[in-house]
Structure 1
Amino acid sequence: MKFKTALAAAAAFTLATAAQAQMGPETGATVYESTDGEVGGVIGTIVQMDGETIVVDIDGMKASLPAGAFGEGPEGPVIAVTKAQLVQMLQAQNEQAVAARDAALVADAAVFDSEGAQIGTIQSVDGDSAVLEMTEGAVTVQREQFAADQNGVLLVLIPRADLVAALGGEPAPAAQGGEMAEQDAE
């Protein structure tokens, strides 16, 4: 009889452990505010996870948050900050990224691609566009298609092949990700 009781207890423990392992954040889950132990409003949706970092879409803005910041609430994942606080943080980061980009986007600045290879220099900047001089020729690129990394290095968010194609008369394509890609460059 003791064997059956021990077996039943082991089975219950295994089921509880399996259920607990399935809990937690997952891609597509809605994230809620949790302040003072109470579940609040919706913050956003989990769009990506990679072990230690969880990316949450908050009204079209992407917030990379540490996985350890998430708890489990009755409706799903919770985090102990408000949506307003996260939005304010994202807007401040975006402003810093734009300011860093604008400081780096000047005549004679070296321009690098996403792999760190220098692909040219800025010939001139006029309003919302800049002329990027490459060995193949000069191409006009919109300001939003540049970013600065954490060291202030100017990056172009368009692949070199697309820039070279633009020299043949095709318009330079829009960068993937827009201003949020600038934050990723940081």
Structure 2
Amino acid sequence: MTNPFVGKSLVAMPRLDDPWFSRSVVCMAIHDAGGSFGLVVNNRVHGLSEADVLLSIGLPAQHKGAASPVFCGGPVREDGLFILHGPPFDWKSCLPITPYVGLSFSRDIVEAIAKDKGPQHYKMMLGCAGWSPGQLEDEICENTWLVHAVPADLLLSCPAERCWDEVLLKMGIRPEFLALDGGTA
């Protein structure tokens, strides 16, 4: 049986007004009997760059993406550093999510990024999103989230301020036509 959520994206419905998840797109990494885990890909941490994060852990910040933004992956483990990335997937702590997207949280990938030897496409994130067993299914049944397969290039390269709209358009949905209140079938 295939997992209906891993490798997919959750797209927040307009009625979701939680400040952590309003207009968010979440890349789902784990969904099993223990709960669900993902990363918000379009919530920038304002005023914080990759250089700032690298310097805070004692690494030189002279790589080509040093001025790139850092993203808030969610309200859980806000001090945890996660790298959502494209190939390669041979880092010490890498969880391949799809053939095109992986999640790593070991120092080797961070050191490689600092030396411009990391993955070509990635997002550096602080924190993650988590759901207890059954919680995500309940939220989907309440029309809080849409579930959709989103291309890796969109997850890793779309500017944060346009990501929600772009993902909905890829789904064939015009964002302005989504209702704030939805029913259930």
One fold, TM greater than 0.5?
no
> Structure 1 length normalisation: TM-score?
0.29
- Please identify which structure carries the higher strand content: 1
Task: Determine which structure has greater relative contact order: mean sequence separation of CA pairs < 8 Å that are 6+ residues apart, divided by chain length.
Answer: 2
Structure label with greater radius of gyration: 1
- Please identify which structure carries the higher helix content: 1
> Structure 2 length normalisation: TM-score?
0.29
